[in-house]
Structure 1
C-alpha cells in the first residue's frame, strides 16, 4: 500500500464498530492505541526506524500487529522471551488474522535449545550415566511424546521442568549439531521450523535468537532477514542487554566439559580402540577443571573484573597456565579426531568444536579488544566473557544499513526496511535516550503514548520514612516485617521485589518463619519452584480454600509478570534498583561516560534505576479495574535530590505520606474487591 493508503484501513480497524470491536467483545477504542497504530503504519510505508514507549494498558500488541498484517508485507516479530513468543503466536496473531480475514501464513521460530533433537535423543537413550531415576522417567516421557509431536517444541510437553538436567541431553547446540551430515537430518525439528519460517508471511522469534544470528549467522536468519521488510521488536527495553551477550566472545568450562563427554561417548561407540579416547577426554576435562580451580572458592553468581592479565584475585601465572593447558588439550583432541574423521560425521563436528575451544582459549590469553570489556562469571563452572559496551555499532552497521537493492520493490524502486521498537518502559526523558543511545537509534522517530489508566484513582505510592537506610543490616528484616503486616491485612495478594539475591533470601526466610504452619498465608520464594509454577500459584491466591500468597522474587520477576485483578494488590520494592557499581560492565560504561565529560551517575545510574523502578511498579496495575499500592522501602526516594526524578518516572499514583494513611489504604483494599473484567487488550 504505497503513500498513505495504509492509514485508512488501520484507522477503520480501531474505530467504534470496526473489525476489532467485532472480533474482541470487550474491545474499546482508545486514542492512544490508534495513535500508535497510525505511527507504525506510517513507518511501514515510509521505512526507517520508530521507537514507541506505550504505557501499560495501551494495547501495543494490537497497535503494531494490525498495521503489520494489513500492510501485506513480510514481517518479523521479535519478543523478549519464549513465553511471549508463544502468546503472540498462539493467541494474538490467530485472533487478528481471523478478524481481519487475511490469508496470512505464520511461523514460530525458536533457538535450538527449544527443540527436541532426535539424534541426541537416541544418544541419550544409550547413555548409561543418566543422573537418576527421575531423569530416566523423564526420558521415557520425552520418547513417548517424540512419536506424536509435529513441531518438537519442548514447551508443548506438559510437566517438563525448564530446569531439567535432561534438556541439554536431548537438544542440540551450534557446537554439537551435525548439520546435513546428521542421520536424522530429514526429520530434524529445527530445520522444519526454519523451512516453515522461510515460507511464512509473519515469523515470530525472540531477541536471543535474533542476536545469536547476528553474531554467528547460524540460526537461519541469514536467509530470512533479507526477505523481510518490516521488523518489529516488542519488549525492546531488553535489546541492549540481550545483544551484548551475543556480540562479544565467550568460553565456558561447562561447554568444554560437554565437549569432553561427547568426545568420549562418540569415540567409544564409533571408533573404540583407534585412539586413547579416555585419555584424550580426561585431559580436556582436567584442563577445564583446573582452570576453574584457579579462581578458588567464590560465591555463585560473582562476576570478576578482568582488566589485566588475569581476573581480580587470580594468580596471573596460574591463569595463563590454565588457558595454555586448555589450548593444548584441545589441540591433542583435534589430532586424535583427525585420524578417524572419515568414519562418521560426528568426528568432523567434534574436530571443529575442539578447534573452536583452542582458538577461544588463545584469544582470551591475549589482550582485550579496544572498546570492549572482559569479565569472568563464577559458578559451578566459569564463563569467560569479552563484550562490547552496547549494541549501537551492531545496530548501525548490521541492521540500519541495508545492502544496496536489498529492499527493491516489484517495480525496481528501492524501499527501505521498517524497524519498529516498542515497550512500556524505554526511558525517563522525551528522547528516550536510555534506550536510543546504546541501541544506536538516536536518529529514530520517537513516540511516547501514555497509559489510559487513572493511576491517581487506582493506585497509591508510599515511601516509609522510619525504615533503616538501605545499606543497614537491619533493612531487609524491616522490609519483611512491613510486608508481613500488610499481607496479613490483605490476605496475601503481595509481591515483594528485591534488588539482590541476599535480600531475597533474608526477606523470604523471615516471612516463612512468621507464617509457616499458621495456615494464614503461603510464602512463595523465587527458586523453590519453576517461575511459571510460582506465577500460577500466586494468581490462584486464596481460591478453593487455599491460603493467600506472598511472592518474594528478584531480577526476572521485575518485568513480564502479568497478575491482573485482585490476586495482586500490593507491590513492595526493597531498594532503589541502581546498577551494581562493582559489575565490570557497569564500571566500563561509567568510565566511558566520564571520559566523555558526562556524569555517570546522572546519565547512567539514575536512568537505569528509573527504568527498572517503572518496570517493577508496572506489575501492580494491569487492568482498568485494578486497585493497589506500591511501597518503595528506600528513604533516598524521599530525601535525595534525584528522588524527585525517580518519582516522576513512576506512573502518576497518588502519594501516601504517613503510616496512618498507608494503613487506611490497606483497609480500603482489603474491604473492596475490584471487578476482574479483562479488556482483552494486550
Structure 2
C-alpha cells in the first residue's frame, strides 16, 4: 500500500489512532493536511501548510513522516518544543504505529555541558562569587550522573544564570578533537547519535547556524535526510536573517579576554603579560560600548537603551565618526597584541591554539564592521547590557533558493560539498504553522522564505469561535498616540480582571508599555493582594507560565500576566486558567527599527507601497498570533480585547479583522460586561456572547 493510501486509514474513525486513544477525534482538516504531507514526501518539492489552532498539525506531519521510512529532520522554534516532540509526541506515536524508530535530539552547544570548560570554571573570577560557586557545585554534582549532558535536565537552573556560559562551549572556544575530554564530549555524542538516527529533532537556530558555519568551511554536518519539516515555520525568516548575516558583540570580546587570561596563566604562565593583555582587551571592549552608551544616555540621538540604532553611514546614527573609529582601532590594536603573544606559545596547548584562531576570527569580523556595509544588507547596533554590531540580509528568500532548497555543487570557498544522494531523489520540504499569512496565497511567509512555487494549503481551526470567543474594542480608551494610553489600558484591565479573579494575559507591543502597565497593575493590588501581577523579565518564562497556570490555587490569588515579545506565541494555557487576552495596541512593526526601515525603503524603491505590502501584513500576522493565545481547546471560552480603536475606525481595520478568527463581536460596554459575567460562571456550555 502506498504512503498516500496508508495515511488516511490511520486517522479514520476506528483507525489506529482511535483504537489507541479513546479521546482521539477524527478531524477532516488533520487528515487533509496529513495526506498533503504524504504526497509531498512521495513526490518531493515544497509544501506550505497553515493549520489553525486545534487541527493537530503535529500528528498530521509526524504520521506520514514515520510511515514513510525516510530519514527525517524535524526543526521547531524552541528548545521547549524540541523536548516535547522528542520526549512525548514521537515516542508515543511510534509506539502506536508499532514502528521501531531511532530518534535523536540535537540542540546547540549552549544546551550541553562542556566538561573541559567546567574544569576551568573554578579559575574564572566569577566563580569567586558565593552564589555562582554554589550553582557551579550543583552542576559538578549533576555532571557525574548525566548521560546526555543536556542542561534542561538540571532542575532549578535559571536560564539566565551566569554559570551557563562558564560550563558550556561556543563555536569560538570549542577545541574540537584536540580537547582532552573529546571522547566524553556531550555535544560530540549528541551528533554521533543524530548521524545514526532515523528521526532527528533540532531547532531553527541550529539549522541556520549550521548552514552559515558550513559555508565558512567549518562544517558541522547534520544527518543527510530526504524529508525536512519546519514546525512553527513563521519564525524561520527572522531566525535565518539573524544567522545568515554577520554579528559581533562586546560580550564575545569580554569572553575572549577572560579565556585569554585563564588559558595563558594555566598553560604559559610567565611567557607573556596575560593579565595586562586581558585587561587591555576588556577595557577596549568597554570603551566601544561607552562610545555608544554616552551618546544614548546623554540623549544625543534620542534612542532609548535596549533599542536598535541605525547605521546607514560611516558610523552609527548619533555617534561621532572619529570617536567610533578610534574605539574600533583601539580594540583591533589590543587584539593584535594578544595574537602576537599567542603566536609564540600556541603550540604548547590546544587551548592556546584555539585562542589564536578565535582572536584572528574576531579581528577579521572587526575589520568587516570597520568597512562599508555589503550591498542588499542592512547594518545596525543592538544596545543592551552588551553592544552587538549586526549586518544582515533583508530576508532569507535568496539564501533559501540558492543555498538551502537546492544543494550547490561547490561551497563559497570552492570546496566540494559532501555527496547528498537524498537531494537527487527529490527532497521533501514541509513548512507549517498556525499563522503564516493573512491571504490565501500566504504571501507574508512564502515571499520572504523564497517559496513562491511551493504548494499552499490552508486548514481552518475546528474550534467554534463564534460560540467560544468574543472580540471587544473599548471605544473609551484614548488614541495609542496619547501618552496616557498605557496607563488607561492598565486601569481598564484592572476593572475587567477583578471579577474574573485574574485569568488575564496582557500582551504589549513595546517594553515601555510593558513597564507602565505592569507597574500600574502592581500598584493597584499592592495593598489588598487580591490578584498577583506577573511581569515578563522578572522571572524566567517557564516559571511565569507555571505560576499563571496554577491561578487561584493552594491559597494563592489569581494572576494577571503582563508580557511582550515571546509571549505573543508559544504561550499555551488551555482551560479556565486564561479567559481574557488584552492586546494593548495594533502590532505594527516599529517604524524606527533599522531592519524595518530598510525593508520599507526597499519596497518603495521598487515602486511598491510599504504600508499595504509590509506593515499591514506584519500587523495582521502578529495580531493573529496574539489572538491565538485565547482558545486552545474545544471547551475553552474567552474574550479578546484590543485596546486600539483604529481597529474599528480606520479603513485598514477591516483587513486586520479579517485575519482574526470569526469571533462574536461585542459592540458596547454593556455587552462586554454581560460576556465577562458569563465567564465567571462554572458552566462550559453557555456561549460567551450574550
| TM-score, normalised with respect to structure 1 | 0.96
The 8 Å contact of residues 248 and 388 in structure 1, kept in 2 or not, is answered as yes
1:678 is matched with which residue? none
Matches within 5 A, 1:622-637: 622-637=632-647
2:159 to 148, 155, 162: 162
1:679 is matched with which residue? none
2:307 is matched with which residue? 302
1:368 is matched with which residue? 373
Matches within 5 A, 1:56-455: 56-130=53-127, 132-217=129-214, 222-225=220-223, 227-297=224-294, 298=296, 299-402=304-407, 408=421, 414-455=424-465
Task: Determine the C-alpha separation between the residues in 2 that align with 1:285 and 1:571.
Answer: 45
The 8 Å contact of residues 619 and 656 in structure 2, kept in 1 or not, is answered as yes
**Secondary structure of the residue that 2:100 maps to in structure 1?**
coil
Question: What residue ranges of structure 2 are gaps of 5+ in the alignment?
Answer: 297-303, 410-417, 686-690
Give, in angstroms, the shift of residue 508 of structure 1.
0.6
Give, in angstroms, the shift of residue 130 of structure 1.
1.9
| 1:91-128 deviations in Å (ceiling 9; x for gaps) | 00011000000010000000000000000100013335
Task: Determine the C-alpha separation between the residues in 1 that align with 2:149 and 2:257.
Answer: 27
Task: Determine the C-alpha separation between the residues in 2 that align with 1:293 and 1:546.
Answer: 45
The 8 Å contact of residues 478 and 484 in structure 2, kept in 1 or not, is answered as yes
Change (3 A) 1:131 1:240: farther
2:648 aligned with 1:601, yes or no? no
| 1:626-653 deviations in Å (ceiling 9; x for gaps) | 0000000000001001100000000000
Task: Determine the C-alpha separation between the residues in 1 that align with 2:124 and 2:307.
Answer: 33
Give, in angstroms, the shift of residue 129 of structure 1.
3.5
| 1:134-183 deviations in Å (ceiling 9; x for gaps) | 21111111111000000000000000000101100000000111111100
Deviates more, 1:29-38 or 1:270-279: 270-279
Q: How many residues in Structure 1 have an aligned counterpart in Structure 2?
A: 668
Task: Determine the C-alpha separation between the residues in 2 that align with 1:25 and 1:203.
Answer: 29
1:666 is matched with which residue? 676
Task: Determine the C-alpha separation between the residues in 2 that align with 1:174 and 1:221.
Answer: 11
Task: Determine the C-alpha separation between the residues in 1 that align with 2:219 and 2:89.
Answer: 23
**Secondary structure of the residue that 2:262 maps to in structure 1?**
helix
| 1:372-391 deviations in Å (ceiling 9; x for gaps) | 00000111221000000000
The 8 Å contact of residues 10 and 67 in structure 1, kept in 2 or not, is answered as yes
The 8 Å contact of residues 126 and 132 in structure 2, kept in 1 or not, is answered as no
Task: Determine the C-alpha separation between the residues in 1 that align with 2:354 and 2:142.
Answer: 28
Question: What residue ranges of structure 1 are gaps of 5+ in the alignment?
Answer: 676-682
Task: Determine the C-alpha separation between the residues in 1 that align with 2:629 and 2:386.
Answer: 34
2:580 is matched with which residue? 570
Task: Determine the C-alpha separation between the residues in 2 that align with 1:220 and 1:52.
Answer: 34
C-alpha root-mean-square deviation of aligned residues, in Å?
A: 1.5
**Secondary structure of the residue that 1:224 maps to in structure 2?**
coil
Task: Determine the C-alpha separation between the residues in 1 that align with 2:71 and 2:39.
Answer: 16
Task: Determine the C-alpha separation between the residues in 2 that align with 1:228 and 1:319.
Answer: 46
Change (3 A) 1:606 1:101: same
| TM-score, normalised with respect to structure 2 | 0.95
Deviates more, 1:279-288 or 1:367-376: 279-288
Task: Determine the C-alpha separation between the residues in 2 that align with 1:222 and 1:147.
Answer: 27
2:413 is matched with which residue? none
Change (3 A) 1:82 1:9: same
2:531 aligned with 1:521, yes or no? yes
2:300 is matched with which residue? none
The 8 Å contact of residues 402 and 408 in structure 2, kept in 1 or not, is answered as no
Change (3 A) 1:487 1:20: same
The 8 Å contact of residues 647 and 656 in structure 2, kept in 1 or not, is answered as yes
Give, in angstroms, the shift of residue 222 of structure 1.
4.8
The 8 Å contact of residues 260 and 355 in structure 2, kept in 1 or not, is answered as yes
**Secondary structure of the residue that 2:347 maps to in structure 1?**
coil
| 1:520-545 deviations in Å (ceiling 9; x for gaps) | 11111111111100000000111222
Task: Determine the C-alpha separation between the residues in 1 that align with 2:329 and 2:220.
Answer: 35
Task: Determine the C-alpha separation between the residues in 2 that align with 1:246 and 1:601.
Answer: 27
Give, in angstroms, the shift of residue 665 of structure 1.
0.2
1:478 to 464, 468, 488: 488
